[in-house]
């Protein structure tokens, strides 16, 4: 009997996962529930699935297995309790009942433990620090101190209203984010990921550097849907990395291209992974405004990667695939064009029709299921649809639990007003110097990102750091995109670089060597946030002529920086010319007329000097 029960857990987990997916799709299409109802059901599903997944990995009903099942049942019971009592709980938050406190305290413990199981120790430890600050921060001197709060007040404030665990961030996960993760899974099951790879390879694979450029394009397109750089590396990298290696790219370089491009998917409009929805919700602006502002920075990021690929390919004399070995573009389009329709429909509904991401995502999911039946080989049969819904729900668990535990952090910050105090401290440390403050914010983003997922990094930085930038006069959208950008870059920043480590597993490379190569390949990307802070025309804020000028000078600056990093233009560059190009790139960061002219003059001078004399023989791979 006990053995059959253990064997039944995976089936139970699959059924619960599909139930969660159906709940999210139906509420998206026919109207979400009241905030607390929608969020407590979402959190309950996520916790139950995390514990069932842990139980499904165990071979016998030992003490650990029993604990997993007990935790899953406790999570379900608490979700039901909150669903049935949420209105009364909000009314009596100042005088909670014993049952409220018991449910709240157990919920906090379950969220901490489930996060540890899903994403490791870093985020739970940081959350515990904030909880400790809420409970004991009153003993600290000066600005860091706050009034005394008992454990009952802390538990009530975090679990009995929409300020903590069931806050705005969890609400975004319970609506937009889950829907788009599921959409990405359906595209994967329908063959759209392979379609984008084949289309990019067919169009570019036969050109110099074409396989790597095709990999960057395909990974960017699919990465904006998946929202997880490491997952995207494993999905598209299994196809793109072997293609790059066939044309002569080193293992490290091929893996670095995939890691960098997959990371950039998080900043690629119109979907931008998960955090873009949270940015829009935090600032109270339309989501499409965030996507539009992120467009030029995304173009610059991928432009930098492509420049680096082309320069490296020329320096190493790496040719493309023989044309006969590349997929033919017309047959690929003819046989699979319909697979792109759901993505195009999503863009049309949000950008042209002005529909909400929730409504647009619902109809994109319906379209992805419908178009799969246009060809027999892509049918989403009931069994495959069940599996896609199951996988979509399981894939969404990481973001769901991150958003949930982030609610504890935000609730503690709100209760103690630490966010406002921390912003003042940062401004004081920077002594009113904008560049110093930006550097502090960038370093904070990269360091936090080494142990946490991008979404959680952004949430913390949005509360602690972004307000400091706005205090110094930075546009709020630019400030939030700045911290978001560096949270994304942490995925390829050594020593802890999750996307690079995933790519290393596919190439059998040393993780640190590949991580350094990915960091080098994306080094221009570390400059781009400074560019749009000082030149907000890069965020589509300004006149059309000013935006075109800003884009043109930024692209030249990125090209100059790429040549400086790679040490190659038409031929190998001396250290002097590389230094001049680096200086020119820095000059082009500023939007001033004279700095732009000086930067352009330096780039033109180096280009003319580089063209003098015969080109150097390409290096051999």
Angstrom distances, CA of residue 533 to CA of 186, 293, 393, 433, 529: 37, 12, 37, 14, 6
**pLDDT at site 246:** 84
Which DSSP state fits 350? I
| pLDDT per position as a tens digit, 505-551 | 788 777 778 888 888 888 888 888 988 898 888 998 888 888 988 89
| Residue ranges in 430-538 assigned as alpha helix (H) | 434-449, 454-464, 466-471, 476-489, 498-507, 511-521, 528-534
Radius of gyration of the chain from its Cα atoms, rounded to whole angstroms: 25
For the chain, the domains span: 2-161, 414-559, 560-621
Q: With H, G, I as helix, E, B as strand and everything else as coil, classify residue 572.
A: strand
Tell me if 149 sits within 8 A of 95, measured CB to CB: no
**pLDDT at site 620:** 46
Tell me if 518 sits within 8 A of 256, measured CB to CB: yes
pTM comes to 0.78
| pLDDT per position as a tens digit, 5-25 | 778 899 999 999 999 999 999
**pLDDT at site 207:** 83
Any idea what the Cα angle at residue 269 is, between residues 273 and 368, rounded to 5°?
Answer: 70
Which regions in the chain score pLDDT beneath 50?
A: 1, 620-621
- Do you find a cis peptide bond into 479, omega within 30 degrees of 0? no
**pLDDT at site 614:** 52
From start to end of 237-355, where are the E strands? none
**pLDDT at site 107:** 97
Tell me if 198 sits within 8 A of 332, measured CB to CB: yes
**pLDDT at site 618:** 52
DSSP states of 461-479: HHHHTHHHHHHTT--HHHH
């Amino acid at each position: 009997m006990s053995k059959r029960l253990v064997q039944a857990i995976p089936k139970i987990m699959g059924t619960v996962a599909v139930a969660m997916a159906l709940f999210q799709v139906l509420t998206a299409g026919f109207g979400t529930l009241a905030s607390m109802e929608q969020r407590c059901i979402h959190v309950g599903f996520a916790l139950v699935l995390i514990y069932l997944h842990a139980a499904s990995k165990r071979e016998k009903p030992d003490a650990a297995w029993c604990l997993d099942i007990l935790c899953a049942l406790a999570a379900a019971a608490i979700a039901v309790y909150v669903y049935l009592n949420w209105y009364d709980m909000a009314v009596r938050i100042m005088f909670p009942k014993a049952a409220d406190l018991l449910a709240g305290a157990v919920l906090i413990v379950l969220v901490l433990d489930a996060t540890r199981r899903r994403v490791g120790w870093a985020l739970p430890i940081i959350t515990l620090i904030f909880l400790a600050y809420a409970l004991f921060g009153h003993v600290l001197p000066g600005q860091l101190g706050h009034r005394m709060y008992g454990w009952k007040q802390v538990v009530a404030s975090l679990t009995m209203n929409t300020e903590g665990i069931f806050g705005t961030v969890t609400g975004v996960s319970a609506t937009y984010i889950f829907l788009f993760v599921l959409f990405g899974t359906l595209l994967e099951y329908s063959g759209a990921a392979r379609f984008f790879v084949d289309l990019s390879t067919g169009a570019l694979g036969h050109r110099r550097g074409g396989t790597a450029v095709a990999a960057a394009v395909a990974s960017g397109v699919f990465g904006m849907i998946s929202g997880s750089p490491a997952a995207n590396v494993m999905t598209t990298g299994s196809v793109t990395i072997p293609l790059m290696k066939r044309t002569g790219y080193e293992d490290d370089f091929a893996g670095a291209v995939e890691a960098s491009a997959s990371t950039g998917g998080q900043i690629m409009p119109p979907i931008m992974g998960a955090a873009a929805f949270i940015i829009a919700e935090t600032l109270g602006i339309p989501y499409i405004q965030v996507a539009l502002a992120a467009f030029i920075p995304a173009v610059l990021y991928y432009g930098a990667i492509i420049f680096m690929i082309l320069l490296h390919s020329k320096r190493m004399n790496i040719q493309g695939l023989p044309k006969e070995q590349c997929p033919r573009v017309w047959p690929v389009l003819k046989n699979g064009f319909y697979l792109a329709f759901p993505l195009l429909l999503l863009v049309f509904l949000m950008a042209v029709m002005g529909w909400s991401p929730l409504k647009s995502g619902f109809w994109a999911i319906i379209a992805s299921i419908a178009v799969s039946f246009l060809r027999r080989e892509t049918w989403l049969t009931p069994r495959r649809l069940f599996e896609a819904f199951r996988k979509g729900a399981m894939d969404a668990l990481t973001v769901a639990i991150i958003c949930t535990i982030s609610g504890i952090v935000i609730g503690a910050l709100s209760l103690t007003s630490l966010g406002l105090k921390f912003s003042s401290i940062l401004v004081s440390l920077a002594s009113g110097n904008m560049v110093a403050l930006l550097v502090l914010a960038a370093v904070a983003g990269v360091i936090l990102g080494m142990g946490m997922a991008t979404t959680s990094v952004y949430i913390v930085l949005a509360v602690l750091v972004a307000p400091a930038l706005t205090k110094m006069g930075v546009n709020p959208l630019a400030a939030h995109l700045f911290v978001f950008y560096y949270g994304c870059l942490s995925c390829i920043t050594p020593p802890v670089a999750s996307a690079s480590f995933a790519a290393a597993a596919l190439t059998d490379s040393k993780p640190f060597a590949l991580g350094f190569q990915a960091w080098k390949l994306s080094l221009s990307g570390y400059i781009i946030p400074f560019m749009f802070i000082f030149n907000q025309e890069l965020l589509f804020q300004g006149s059309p002529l000013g935006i075109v000028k800003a884009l043109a000078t930024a692209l030249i600056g990125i090209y100059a920086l790429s040549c400086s990093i790679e040490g190659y233009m038409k031929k190998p560059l001396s250290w002097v010319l590389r230094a001049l190009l680096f200086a020119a790139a820095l000059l082009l960061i500023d939007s001033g007329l004279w700095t732009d002219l000086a930067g352009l003059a330096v780039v033109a001078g180096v280009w003319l000097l580089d063209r003098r004399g015969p080109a150097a023989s390409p290096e051999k791979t």
